[in-house]
Amino acid sequence: MNKKTRKAVYSKYDGHCAYCGRPIEYKDMQVDHKIPQRKYSLPEIANQEENLMPSCRRCNHYKRGNNLETFRRYLLEMEDKVLGTYLGKVARDYGMVDWQGWNGRFYFEEAAARDK
Domains of the chain (ranges, CATH numbers): 3-115 (1.10.30)
Q: How many C-beta atoms surround the C-beta of residue 43 within 10 A?
A: 8
**Reported pTM:** 0.88
70-87: pLDDT as tens digits: 999 999 999 999 999 999
Instruction: For residue 35, give the DSSP letter.
Output: S
Percent of all residues in the chain with a pLDDT value above 70, rounded to a whole number: 96
Name residues whose C-beta falls within 8 Å of residue 9's C-beta, 6 or more positions apart in sequence: 29, 31, 49, 52, 53, 54
Query: Taking a C-beta distance cutoff of 8 angstroms, is the pair 19, 53 a contact?
Result: yes
Predicted pLDDT of residue 116: 74
- Check if the beta carbon of residue 67 is closer than 8 Å to that of residue 53: no
Instruction: Please compute the mean of the pLDDT values over residues 20-47 and round it to a whole number.
Output: 87
Q: Are 34 and 106 in contact (CB under 8 A)?
A: no
Count the neighbouring beta carbons within 10 Å of the beta carbon of residue 76: 13
| Alpha-carbon span 98 to 107, nearest angstrom | 21
* Per-residue pLDDT at 53 exceeds 90: yes
- pLDDT tens per residue, range 16-26: 999 999 999 99
**Inter-residue contact 9 to 54 (CB < 8 Å):** yes
Residue 41 has pLDDT above 90, yes or no: no
